[in-house]
Amino acid sequence: MKIGIIGAGHMGSTLAHLFTAAGDDVAIANSRGPDTLLDLEAHLGHHAHARTAEQAARYGGVVIIAVPFGHYRDLPAAALAGHTVVDATNYDPERDGRDERLEHGSVTSSELLQLHLPGARVVKAFNAMRWDHLLDHGRSAGANRRYGIPVSGDDPEAKRQVFDLIEQIGYEPVDAGHLGEGGRKHEPGTEVYAADLWADTLWARIGVS
């Protein structure tokens, strides 16, 4: 599979490592340009490609957003139209600036991202586990238990794509519901955020059938 990743910090680089190791081709971008990612590209191997944000957005059917949430308006909306966009961001008012809508809970950060990307299908995932734990806690398909990764979204096909990505890097996807109601269940401050729960426990707490 071809995957774009916009954001090359801890989370973006970790996901690039996991997906290239699984045999996916990844185009990764940051705000400073491809030349600053050549060392990372070399480290990840021939499945990794340093690109601009717009090139990464157009690279594959699935594009992961791993930038600080406060920069979501800088994302190339036109290039992301028609893609499944995975929101791995979290709102941090001290870093991103306070947003009264988010402070009052009238909307979620993922819903704001969806408003900015009207032509994309936004799915919330990879936001609730620390990057270093995500790197280390994946288990093979034959493992008796896997850690769960919560997933929220409104488009069933897009969610299925994200489920498949989660499974191939050694985790079990847990459907938390729609983008708004589901996203609220695994934001910072919730009982499952950064809790590293086994999939069955995560299902019991926030899963929907």
Domain locations in the chain? 2-206
Q: Does the domain formed by 2-206 have CATH 3.40.50.720?
A: yes
Confidence of residue 141 (pLDDT cuts 50, 70, 90): low
Q: Supply the pTM of this predicted model.
A: 0.96
Give the DSSP per-residue string, 35-85: GGGHHHHHHH-TTEEE--HHHHHHHSSEEEE-S-GGGGGGS-HHHHTTSEE
- How much of the chain, in percent, has pLDDT values that exceed 70? 99
- From CA 118, how far away is CA 122, in angstroms rounded? 9
Mean pLDDT of 22-46: 97
Over residues 75-103, the pLDDT tens digits come to 999 999 999 999 999 999 999 999 999 99
